[in-house]
Amino acid sequence: MAVDRPTIRWRAINAWIPYAWDETSATTDWTSFDSSTSKEHYVVPNSTYGIPISSVAVQASLKQSGVASGDGAVIGALYLDGTFAVSTTKVRSNNFSIVGVTYDVNDWADGSIHTASVRIKVSGTSKGVQEIYEFYVKGRA
């Protein structure tokens, strides 16, 4: 049985849809968000071949490395089109923690092309490690 396009669109508007992901490891000892520690991809809202996008969400696994848990912290940030959008909570553990953020992109024009990246930084003398990265989109009517 074929599913008609309006049914698919309704489901996309009411759910977070996986858009991109990466499981390679990125490590830094930088105390600022450096583009060399990013995982980056393009995002294209398109109502003809996909869905218009209202929000994006990121989940990432972060941990400290090389110091005792609690000394310093590692922080992730979402950058959209090369500009800082929002940062995650601080992770102060040598075990991976899943952190996530959401961001409203209702002003993105249909068919426009955007870059999305996650960058990490540390405070103190720790090293920060990011492994799993998942990027989701939520449709709009």
Residues 6+ apart with CB under 8 A from 27: 37, 65, 127, 128, 129, 130
Where residue 15 falls among pLDDT bands split at 50, 70, 90? confident
Residue 6 has pLDDT above 90, yes or no: no
Asked whether 125 and 67 are in contact (CB, 8 A), the reply is: yes
Query: How many C-beta neighbours within 10 Å does residue 48 have?
Result: 8
> For the segment 81-94, what is each residue's pLDDT rounded down to a tens digit?
999 999 998 888 88
Asked whether 124 and 93 are in contact (CB, 8 A), the reply is: no
> For the segment 18-38, what is each residue's pLDDT rounded down to a tens digit?
999 999 888 888 888 887 777
CATH class of 5-139: mainly beta
> Which pLDDT score is estimated for 80?
96
Residue 9 has pLDDT above 80, yes or no: no
Ranges of beta strands (E only) in the chain are 16-22, 26-28, 39-43, 53-65, 73-80, 83-87, 97-104, 114-123, 127-139
Model-level pTM? 0.83
> For the segment 50-109, what is each residue's pLDDT rounded down to a tens digit?
788 999 999 999 998 877 656 788 999 999 999 999 999 888 888 899 999 999 999 999
> Which pLDDT score is estimated for 49?
78
> Which pLDDT score is estimated for 77?
93
- Pairwise CA distance, residues 130 & 76, whole Å: 8
Q: Which of 62, 72, 65 is nearest to 96 (CA)?
A: 62
Residue 7 β-bridge partners? none
Residue 123 β-bridge partners? 73
- Pairwise CA distance, residues 64 & 61, whole Å: 11
